[in-house]
A and B are shown apart, each in its own frame.
Chain A
Amino acid sequence: MDIDLNTIWFLLVGILLAGYAVLDGFDLGVGILHLFVESDEERRIFINAIGPVWDGNEVWLVTGGGALFAAFPAVYAGVFSGFYLAMILLLVALIFRAVAIEFRSKQPMAWWRRTWDVSFSAASFLGSFLMGVAFGNVIRGIPLDGRGEYLGGFLALLNPYALLTGLTTVALFAMHGSIYLVLKTDGAVQAKIRGWVNDTIIVFVVCYATTTMATLLYLPHMGEHFKAHPWAFALPVATMLAIANVPREIFHRREWRAFLSSCAAVFGLMGLAGFGMFPNLVRGTDPSTSLSIYNAASSDGTLMTMLIIAAIGIPLVLSYTISIYWIFRGKVKLDSMSY
């Protein structure tokens, strides 16, 4: 495999999107689980667990989208316009999640808080599901014309495989979110959530196993790289081991290690998908219409300029992301400035 600029940008866009899945994944997971606790205090703890970090996490999606626009404009244009209604609904979900977090604490009325609780949770569920559906379609293959325009309709996106990846994404984020909540809570709230972790893992593993079988049966193209490079089987094995490690770490109350295991699992899953897809970014139903890192890319000049921007920007981003997580480490404590 030659490493050219296009390949580097495949990796960088992949890392941005995987970073988004790892980071905003637990925010969305907390949202999905939000209605499973009843009291106002518990719900405040949930929201404040992600309070200082969620909008920084969403920036990974904004930047991933920007990087896709800059590095592979044809993918950005073709997928966003092709999946029009799904994208609009995703935006609506992200809007409601953002304002629900901000608005909920601003008034004390029970109906007010309940409204935003439902909105926060429904938006988190819908957002995760739609991202999973979009991802499933891109992997499965969509009808494209020779110029990268999507030829299908909205309902064609809701095929069984994509619905399955949508549900798997919801399950993945719920699992990831529950582990994050164990990390950020203590006392009775934590005891309750500790009980959920195994359930969310079981649901996810069932979804994941089903998706994997469907992929192997119906999408043989996703397995070709693995046939050609058997060493790559280490990746799915490592991912499964990371998931299996979570209950062990939770049992031994090593919460950080449990959370890092879960992060590694999310990252590994994104890596698996990326490895299977390479060098395509969007598969066409007719493979000759696929959008790849070559026919969808910007000019070499722009890829190079962007690489310089990334080389300056990424160390900065990592340094303050890590600082923020470090400063806000530890269990959630509610005070007058909390949500």
Chain B
Amino acid sequence: MDVTLLSRIQFAATIAFHYLYPPLSIGLGIVLVVMEGLYLKTRLPVYQQMTRFWIRVFGLTFALGVATGIVMEFEFGTNWSAYSRFVGDVFGSALAAEGIFAFFLESGFLALLLFGWDKVGPRMHFFSTVMVCLGAHFSAIWIIVANSWMQTPAGFRLAEHGLGTRAEVTDFWAMVFNPSTVDRLAHTVLGAWQAGAFLVISVSAYYLLKGKAEDFARRSLGVGAALALVASIGSLATGHASAEGVSRNQPAKLAAMEAHFPASAPADLYVFGWVDEARERVYGVAVPGMLSWMLHGDTKAPITGLLAFAPEDRPPVQLVFQSYHLMVAIGMGLIGLSIAAAFYAARRGAPPPGWLLKLLVVAVLGPQIANQAGWMTAEVGRQPWIVQGLMRTSEGVSRSVSAGEVVFSLVLFTLIYTLLFALFLFLLNAKITHGPLAEDLAASHKRA
């Protein structure tokens, strides 16, 4: 295999594993702000118990996010050095801003969150929770800015430099608010909220099934369900806006998402299907003209298809089609589950029936799979470009790195990440089966 393909596999594997954790930090961040806010308002001990329990879970996911996140920052340089030289002027500033505005905020106040119960008063502790949550969101902003610039570059010019051609920023704010930043940021953050919300829902549903820690579980379920409802319905709206943006800015990606081959013709919307790339056909269930209608309000409106692009400029169709449809299908299912969970949480009467609780327990996988599938759609759909229209992925790879070296690092990362994932599940499971701590009900603040 060549270095480009190996480096792509390594980047995909390391980002996929990393991306299990930051969405949990972002989503749990909101959950913690709500729970601790409720505690400050009501002073009910159970809210303190909830806050402390979920902070411990947060600490575990955060540590794995930090450990795997630094790999991502280094990998641009180690495996994609030609790309790094080309985009450093643009992309580097977003990464540096992420460090200075997001990570310092997050890591500093996390110390107070985890270890500060006896060091500061309840209000200061709550303030720390808000800051950690804000920091997690800031990091999403800057990394989405950087990634969106790769999708829809703006605010730059190409310039000759001593060491080659590169993109230089001409308008910082046009670079930051490039055409896809806002839609993609909103959609990504809502996906992250769902990841956090459904983890809380899943654990609460598990306790309710076992008849364990019922007051804790019901209230946690309420917080989780409210966030899940907002986030899952919001995801539908922002997903639609994102797709409209893709149709304008990256028509080849949109065509791959629906496997729309004709150069210019009305397009169907597939519920599910299988793409035969050789015969340029899709076998599956489709709503005729629906894609045209959704994008242009007219079932007869022509949509640019894959054949409008030279074969070397088309993304892989099957992978993009399947990951996109998987994301949409899960997203729809999560809306249904959120409504059901919120319905029972709002009634405050009988707990949800057993079958629903069982569904809610496994629903924790939903947002995780959908988030991964969404990223795959976005990134594979941009191929063969590393920066849309400006630089091909094969041109961005490090020239001084050999295939053997990448094989070595890929095997190493795979082994380590498999081990870490097993340990993460083991420790998370231990925490969950151990349950919320009784002493957290009575625990006191420094000046509570």
A299 touching B423 in the complex, CB below 8 Å, given contacts A84-B78, A102-B59 = no
Q: Is the CB of A58 within 8 A of B70?
A: yes
Most B CB contacts (10 A, CB to CB) among A72, A91, A301 go to: A91
Interface residues of B in 104-146 (CB under 8 A from A): 104-105, 107-112, 114-120
Residues of B within 8 A of A337 (CB): 114-115, 117
Distance of A314 Cα from B159 Cα, bound (Å): 30
Q: Is the CB of B92 within 8 A of A73?
A: yes
Residues of A within 8 A of B77 (CB): 65, 69, 76-77, 79-81, 87
A61 in the interface (beta carbon within 8 A): yes
Chain B 81-116: CB-based contact to A (< 8 A → 1; otherwise 0): 110110111111101111111011101111110111
Closest chain B residue, CB of each to CB of A148: B163
B74 in the interface (beta carbon within 8 A): yes
Interface stretch (choices A93-101, A165-173, A185-193): A93-101
Residues of B within 8 A of A301 (CB): 168-170, 172
Q: Is the CB of A309 within 8 A of B96?
A: yes
Residues of B within 8 A of A62 (CB): 69-70, 73, 99, 103
A61 touching B70 in the complex, CB below 8 Å, given contacts A69-B88, A77-B84 = yes
Residues of B within 8 A of A90 (CB): 74
Residues of A within 8 A of B110 (CB): 55-56
Residues of B within 8 A of A335 (CB): 118
Cross-interface CB contact of A327 among B66, B100, B105, B116, cutoff 8 Å:
B116
Most A CB contacts (10 A, CB to CB) among B66, B87, B108, B412 go to: B108
Residues of B within 8 A of A98 (CB): 63, 66-67
Q: Is the CB of B115 within 8 A of A81?
A: no
Q: Is the CB of A56 within 8 A of B107?
A: yes
Contact-residue bracket for chain B: 35 or more
Most B CB contacts (10 A, CB to CB) among A63, A69, A317 go to: A69
Q: Is the CB of A321 within 8 A of B100?
A: no
Residues of A within 8 A of B107 (CB): 55-56, 58-59
Q: Is the CB of A302 within 8 A of B93?
A: yes
Interface residues of A in 78-92 (CB under 8 A from B): 78-82, 84-85, 87-88, 90-92
Most A CB contacts (10 A, CB to CB) among B59, B111, B114 go to: B111
B400 in the interface (beta carbon within 8 A): yes
Number of A interface residues in the complex (CB < 8 A): 73
Q: Is the CB of A299 within 8 A of B82?
A: no
Cross-interface CB contact of A309 among B68, B90, B91, B97, cutoff 8 Å:
B97
Q: Is the CB of B405 within 8 A of A84?
A: yes
Residues of A within 8 A of B118 (CB): 335
Q: Is the CB of A298 within 8 A of B89?
A: yes
Distance of A338 Cα from B439 Cα, bound (Å): 15
Cross-interface CB contact of B93 among A72, A309, A324, cutoff 8 Å:
A309
Q: Is the CB of A313 within 8 A of B101?
A: yes
Chain B 150-177: CB-based contact to A (< 8 A → 1; otherwise 0): 0000000001001110101110100000
A264 in the interface (beta carbon within 8 A): no
B43 in the interface (beta carbon within 8 A): no
A182 in the interface (beta carbon within 8 A): no
Cross-interface CB contact of A56 among B91, B97, B108, B427, cutoff 8 Å:
B108
Return 5 A-B CB contacts under 8 Å, by A number: A69-B96, A87-B77, A90-B74, A99-B67, A149-B399
The 6 closest A-B pairs by CB, nearest first: A73-B88, A80-B77, A70-B92, A63-B99, A313-B100, A69-B92
Interface residues of A (CB under 8 A from B): 51-53, 55-56, 58-59, 61-63, 65-74, 76-82, 84-85, 87-88, 90-92, 94-95, 98-99, 101-103, 106-107, 147-151, 154, 295-296, 298-299, 301-302, 305-306, 309-310, 313-314, 316-317, 320-321, 323-324, 327-328, 335-338
